Structure 1
Amino acid sequence: MGDPTRPPPVTGYPACPPNGYPPPPAGTAYPYPQPSSAYPYPQPGNYYINNTDVYMNPRRIFLRRVLLVLVACFVIAMVVGMVLWVIFRPKVPEVRVDSLSVSDFNLSSNFLSANWDLKFTVRNPTKRFSLYYDDIYASVYYGHSMLLAWTSVAPFSQDSYSETPSKATFSAASTFVDNWVVEGINKSNPNVEFDVLMLARVRFKAGSWRARGRYLRAYCRDLNVRLGNHTAHSLSSGNLVGGPKQCQVRLS
């Protein structure tokens, strides 16, 4: 039986917390744990918004566009010109000496007198171009360096794949020559070798398209002429030995 003096148990109160701590206030909860501070995230930099409007001068814009158009046109013209030059590139003309005759040749002491009659042929080897020659000059040399006489040649033109004969006449009257020239001519008697140099300006034309002018240089060397025995008191003459001879031609 129970003790009548012990008070009865009280009912209706909440149970004590199991851990012995008071419960948290109503409406609250435990916060999330703070992140570790060992590797904190860097703070982002400040971002500035530039609201300044850029003002462009209309005149400057127009000039810039005009300049770009001019540069583009120049580049296109250069490319087209290079393509046309590659397609229609002309070949070097051919020059051939057909005959060379010398008359009234006389070498007295260091003074030389003679007349040269040169006949040559120029060939246009190109298929698409017509050639125009002007400012033509021809010179006669001895020993590749001693100028004896020079003259000008009439201008002419050529169609494609055509040959044009021409001629040049030279004259020397008591032209002074060095001792080595006198010795060389007397030693090679009766044959004497002359050199002929021809210079000309050449223009190439294909339809309405024209290339820029070029300069032609034709060097015809070692033209052997049999003069016979010549002395200071007699005149001699002779012709080219060995037939026609090709010349070295170069364009610049």
Structure 2
Amino acid sequence: MSTQPEESSSTPSSNSSFNTASAPRSQPSNNNNRNSSRRNYLFVHRLIVAILLLFVTVSVVNFIAWRTLNPIPPIFQVNSFHISSTTPFNSSTLNHTYYYRVVFAITNPNKKLKLFLDRFEVFVFHGKTKVSSQRMTLMPPDLSVYYPEKNSPRDFPVRGRMLMISNFLPNNKNEVINFDVKMSFRIRFLAWNWLPKRESMRVHCSHLSVKLLSAKGKGDLIGGREQCSVL
């Protein structure tokens, strides 16, 4: 009868020794998880820092490069301004259709920069009144117009419809009327074939004197080529 208590007392001791032996095995796995999380955190942190440094470096290089290049806007001139009608200006016909055709001469003054122009909008004014319709035709069409470095003037024709008002029509055969032409566009400067810079610009060509011939239903620019201001 004295042997039974001894057997029962030996069982808890064996269980406790098993528990104490197995407990330390979970500590290495916890340490591995902590180390893995720390490595992931350091990797993400270094990646973010590298991206920020790259962005700052590119921005600084871009700023210094364009400050050094100092891009100059293109030079605009009006070579010709022509107005035509399907009927004479002094005709009593109600269905008058008037058209304008402006030929710009565009020059790239930059020695090391290429120019690409697109998204054109052209409007014709008489005083403060707009006398051109919204729709116009570019020749060439509304695509990017390329100008190489330091090139000679290139013609850029624009054609559209005019909304003529009765008080603009000539009373005499050779009446001169002044028009203003305003154009907006987007320009892209390109350096070394890989570094671009985009800007939006406006051009104002003022006091374009056009002699209207009432009998022939047409008018042409007088006084030769006119310089435009780039805003």
TM-score (norm 2): 0.68
Match of 1:169 among 155, 159, 169: 159
For residue 82 of structure 1, give the secondary structure of its aligned residue in structure 2.
helix
- 1:160 paired with 2:149, answer yes
- 1:90 paired with 2:75, answer no
1:45-124, aligned counterparts within 5 Å?
57-104=38-85, 106=89, 113-124=97-108
| Partner in structure 2 of residue 36 of structure 1 | none
1:124-203, aligned counterparts within 5 Å?
124-149=108-133, 150-153=135-138, 154=140, 155=143, 156-162=145-151, 163-172=153-162, 175=163, 182-183=166-167, 185=169, 190-203=175-188
CA distance in 1, matches of 2:171, 2:57: 63
Deviation at 1:77, TM superposition (A): 1.3
Q: What root-mean-square deviation, in Å, do the aligned CA atoms of Structure 1 and Structure 2 show?
A: 2.9
Match of 1:215 among 196, 200, 208: 200
Instruction: Indicate if the aligned counterparts of 1:142 and 1:148 stay in contact, CA closer than 8 A.
Output: no
CA distance in 2, matches of 1:117, 1:60: 65
Structure 1 regions of 5+ residues with no counterpart? 1-54
Instruction: Report the residue type matching 2:147 in the other structure.
Output: Q
Instruction: Report the residue type matching 2:45 in the other structure.
Output: R
TM-score (norm 1): 0.63
Q: Which structure has the larger Rg?
A: 1
The 3 A distance-change label for structure 1 pair 111 and 183 is farther
CA distance in 2, matches of 1:223, 1:203: 28
CA distance in 2, matches of 1:110, 1:83: 61
Relative to total residues, which structure has the larger helix share, 1 or 2? 2
Highest relative contact order (Cα 8 Å, sep 6+), 1 or 2?
2
For residue 211 of structure 1, give the secondary structure of its aligned residue in structure 2.
strand
Aligned residue-pair number? 186
| Partner in structure 2 of residue 8 of structure 1 | none
Instruction: Report the residue type matching 1:88 in the other structure.
Output: L
Deviation at 1:198, TM superposition (A): 2.2
The 3 A distance-change label for structure 1 pair 80 and 183 is same
For residue 213 of structure 1, give the secondary structure of its aligned residue in structure 2.
strand
Structure 2 regions of 5+ residues with no counterpart? 1-33
Instruction: Indicate if the aligned counterparts of 1:218 and 1:247 stay in contact, CA closer than 8 A.
Output: yes
Identity across the alignment (%): 23
1:233-248, aligned counterparts within 5 Å?
235-248=216-229
Deviation at 1:78, TM superposition (A): 1.1
Instruction: Report the residue type matching 1:132 in the other structure.
Output: F
